[in-house]
Amino acid sequence: MVRTGTQSSGALTDHATQHVSRNPGTPLELDWVRRVRVNRSAVERRAATLGTRRSVKKDHQAAWLLKAVTCIDLTTLAGDDTPGRVRRLCAKARQPVRRDVLQALGVAHLDLTVGAVCVYHTMVETAVDALLGSDIPVAAVSAGFPAGLSPLQQRVAEIRASVAAGAAEIDIVITRAHVLTGRWEQLYEEVRTFREACGEAHLKTILATGELGTLRNVYRASLVCMMAGADFIKTSTGMESVNATLPVGLTMARAIREYGERTGVQVGLKPAGGIRTAKDALLWLILMKEELGNAWLEPDLFRFGASSLLGDIERQLEHHVTGRYSAAHRHPAA
């Protein structure tokens, strides 16, 4: 049976709400941005040790995987999305792990849900309706996702329309050219404009790190987005050739830590794209715990952008209970 208190591994199995304050942003500090240096070799060496320095086994591993479930933004961003598919996804968000598995683990009373459901703007109303009565927020990808190259007024209008439709979180994509050409003032003003358009909805800024060229650019873009008021910084759209990697995550976590030390504000991190296995999820949770602390093991400050991750986590949890790996169709995701 999985214990429901604080594990020695640092994970919690209950879906706690921290009520983290919004990031109000700060004035743009160009000197801070320009001073950034990143030692890529050191970052890669540190990232490579995450899976070797800490071992999470048996009940502790099951507890960490349950925690990972609560941090998933269950996502569908396909061109053939239908209302029926979105409603099925929302049903899975309400009951992400089969009840018999939860009962065998001794945690059926926890009312486990995912962190959010993430959809295109056209499916926001459907998702909001399907999640009525739950505390699961709807996140909408916006601002010309995934390229982010439509006219600024159209991107702002899309954000406002998604908020009006009921989205509680907005995932926007930045203009990568601003980063690649060092136009930090333009990036700051762009994100600040998006932040204002969001109103009360939380803003997640997608950096598309696989297209930024260097870890130094990743760190600088992270700082500028946080200064502009981003509540989360997110690695990728999931549609680049390179998506979430641990060196990039470590770089962004260090930026979050430095920003927090200077401003006292906690900003969340959302890796997205390519995170498909329970082992991947554990590595990211270890990264969060070691670099930022237990507060970043909660959905208020950490999310996985994923669609297939949940299925593998369910298989690992059933294996923990029965000692056997089940077929994927026993854990339908949508």
Residues with active-site annotation = 171, 234, 270
The two three-digit tokens of residue 46, written as one number = 């540190």
Q: What is the 3-state secondary structure (H, E, C) of the chain?
A: CCCCCCCCCCCCCCCCCCCCCCCCCCCCCHHHHHCCCCCHHHHHHHHHCHHHHCCCCHHHHHHHHHHHHHCEEEECCCCCCCHHHHHHHHHHHHCCCCHHHHHHHCCHHHCCCCCEEEEEHHHHHHHHHHCCCCCCCEEEEECCCCCCCCCHHHHHHHHHHHHHCCCCEEEEECCHHHHHCCCHHHHHHHHHHHHHHHCCCEEEEECCHHHCCCHHHHHHHHHHHHHCCCCEEECCCCCCCCCCCHHHHHHHHHHHHHHHHHHCCCCEEECECCCCCHHHHHHHHHHHHHHCCHHHHCCCCECEEECCHHHHHHHHHHHHHHCCCCCHHHCCCC
Pairwise CA distance, residues 304 & 71, whole Å: 6
